[in-house]
């Protein structure tokens, strides 16, 4: 039995032996919606924002994330759990696309994009060809998203700097 399976069974046994009598389902209504919203009046809308994106894949799930940094240094994080199996490269594309979608929703017009995926950066710049048929629709959609920005640039960073 693997170490992970042992840990999982210990947690399950603990929960089964200690049921909660007064359990109430979680209330998913978020009353203070304004706290989690980005207003139309974000400072520096006409200035250049920065975006750093990455992906994480392990045996149990796939996840993607990004950080959008406003011109005045405020950080906005984006995190998504992918609910489908995918390759590393597809996850990288999903990370970049989801982050750009968030930037579009925030009405950001000028953006500098940074990522440790040479594949995406150079394919988007047109310096590398997209040969993998699974990546072609992702690249096509990413290029459509790029058109929604007044100004956008892509820079490859090493993993240690992303």
- Residue 138's CATH number: 3.30.420.10
Whether residue 26 lies inside any domain: the answer is no
Q: Which of 44-48, 114-118, 129-133, 158-162 has the highest mean pLDDT?
A: 114-118
Whether residue 16 lies inside any domain: the answer is no
Answer yes or no: is pLDDT of 10 > 80. Answer: no
> β-pairing, 62-69 with 48-57?
antiparallel
Whether residue 31 lies inside any domain: the answer is no
Cα–Cα distance, 73 to 115 (Å, whole number): 19
The rounded percent of the chain whose pLDDT value lies above 90 is 22
Q: Residues 143-150: what's their mean pLDDT?
A: 93
Whether residue 28 lies inside any domain: the answer is no
Residue 82 half-sphere exposure toward CB, CA atoms < 13 A: 24
* Chain centre to alpha carbon of residue 70: 17
> β-pairing, 110-115 with 48-57?
parallel
Reference 51, options 33, 29, 25, 75; nearest CA is 75
Number of folded domains in the chain? 1
Whether residue 33 lies inside any domain: the answer is no
> β-pairing, 75-82 with 110-115?
unpaired
Whether residue 36 lies inside any domain: the answer is no
Whether residue 95 lies inside any domain: the answer is yes
Cα–Cα distance, 143 to 139 (Å, whole number): 6
What is the domain range of residue 59?
A: 45-161
Answer yes or no: is pLDDT of 72 > 60. Answer: yes
Reference 146, options 15, 51, 58, 71; nearest CA is 51
Whether residue 93 lies inside any domain: the answer is yes
Tokens standing for 29? 């209504």
């Amino acid at each position: 039995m693997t170490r992970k399976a042992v840990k999982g069974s210990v947690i399950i046994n603990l929960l089964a032996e200690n049921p909660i009598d007064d359990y109430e389902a979680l209330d998913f209504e978020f009353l203070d919606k304004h706290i989690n919203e980005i207003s139309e009046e974000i400072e520096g809308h006409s200035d250049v924002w920065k975006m750093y994106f990455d992906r994480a894949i392990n045996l149990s799930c796939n996840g993607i994330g990004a950080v959008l940094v406003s011109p005045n240094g405020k950080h906005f994080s984006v995190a998504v759990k992918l609910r489908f199996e995918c390759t590393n490269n597809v996850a990288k594309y999903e990370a970049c696309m989801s982050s750009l979608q968030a930037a579009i929703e925030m009405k950001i017009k000028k953006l500098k994009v940074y990522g440790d995926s040479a594949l995406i950066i150079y394919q988007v710049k047109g310096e590398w060809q997209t040969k993998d048929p699974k990546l072609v629709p992702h690249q096509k959609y990413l290029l459509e998203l790029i058109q929604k920005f007044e100004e956008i640039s892509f820079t490859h960073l090493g993993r240690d700097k992303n």
